[in-house]
Amino acid sequence: MAGVNAMEKKLAEYKCDTNEAISLKLVRFPEDVDDDSTTFHPEYSHQLFGDDEIAFGYKGLQIQLFYTAGNLSTLFKVKYSSKVTEAFDCVEPDDVEGKIREIIPSGFTSNADDFTSLLEKEANFKPFGTLLHSYTVHNEEAGEFTYQIHKAEITCPGFREYHERLQTFLMWFIETASFIDADDDRWDFFLIFEKYNKDGETLYATVGYMTVYNYYVYPDKTRPRVSQMLILPPFQGEGHGAQLLEAVHRFYCSLPKVQDITAEDPSENYVKLRDFVLVKLCQNLPSFAEDKLPQGFSADMVQEAQDKLKINKKHARRVYEILRLRATDMSDEKQAREYRLEVKKRLFGPYRKNQRELAKMKKCLRPEELVSHMGQMDTQTQHEELEKSYQDVVEGYRRIIERIATHA
């Protein structure tokens, strides 16, 4: 037994955390290749390396995935200080290189000098598709940066290959990511690029992107549904997600055939971002005027949000609640109570549904089965959960309001 434990201990030395082992870079200058400050790491690697996110069989494992900043030409190298086969003849290491090759397209290089030479071609890279929007971001240390949002088609020359390289980032930063069938012409692609200067030339760096699928709505409308959205880590926290979502929203609002705009299985962060953008868009609509808010959520709000901004009723309701909170003096007991009841009325919907289901169950379940279901729907617990839901919602709304205020 002691021998087995000793063997397990030795083998454990050949386990590596793949989130730490994988190094990603967006390279603009040759010196970036050896600059650790430009390196970032995945949040997730379970889709390739299992739930434990571990690669077995190596010590000092380094998986380098470096991309030129614009065209995303790729350097892929696997390095390690030792391999398990050097110490144990009959133990096979994981095929790390094979796993990475599953998601990165062919055409990459494994030679650092060849990769550096590709940087010279970056001056030829230009953003794909049609320019929708430009904006600037001010950095106190580095000054002003200019960004562009483009809408691209899969038929744009070179875009298919570029998209195949770009989508590899999804695997590292979206937990349930999967690649799309880009040959389906109902996909729209939206990209953000940063303009920067290098040796007197204007170059472009990839910042992030969004894919949107256009669903058919009977009889003659479409419903664009956001499928994937990613701002690359070096650019996160700078407001690019909001700029992209607003630009995409405005684009679809200009199309008469669009019914409304939705998202596929949105993350919590996406919902917060959408709330922020939709409140910005709606706050100046007449039906959402401050004097209208205390009168409750109205059909006029639903209609105007739908007609002018392609916002569906569910999302318009959230916008109303956020704007009404901003207009409510929560230190005034009457105003605070009215607001609380208004929000809880919406939140109570799922609990009311449970009560209807319970009434049906009483007619068809045996007593012992009914007791088990009633336990799940205890009234006191429902009230406690409702109050907690309300507090969580208001806390989230306050953060949206604060963010709106800083961008005023």
Active site residues: 264
Structure tokens, 34: 């050896």
258 CB-side CA count, 13 A: 23
Which residues, 6+ apart, have CB-to-CB distance to 356 below 8 Å?
Answer: none
> By the 8 A CB rule, do 323 and 288 touch?
yes
What is each CA distance from 20 to 63, 69, 377, in whole angstroms?
Answer: 9, 22, 44
Which distant-in-sequence residues (6+ apart) come within 8 Å of 354 by Cβ?
377, 382
Helices (H), 221-330: 240-253, 268-282, 299-309, 313-327
Contacts 24+ apart (CB under 8 A), 355-364: none
Which DSSP state fits 311?
-
**Integer CA distances (angstroms), 198 to 62, 67, 202, 204, 233, in order:** 30, 17, 7, 10, 22
Residue 231 in tokens = 């701002």
Angle at CA 165, nearest 5°, toward 216 and 268? 55
Q: Which residues contact 264 (CB under 8 A, 6 or more apart)?
A: 213, 225, 226, 227
Report whether 217 contacts 255 (CB < 8 A).
Answer: no
Asked whether the beta carbons of 387 and 393 are under 8 A apart, the reply is: no
Cis before 294? omega within 30: no
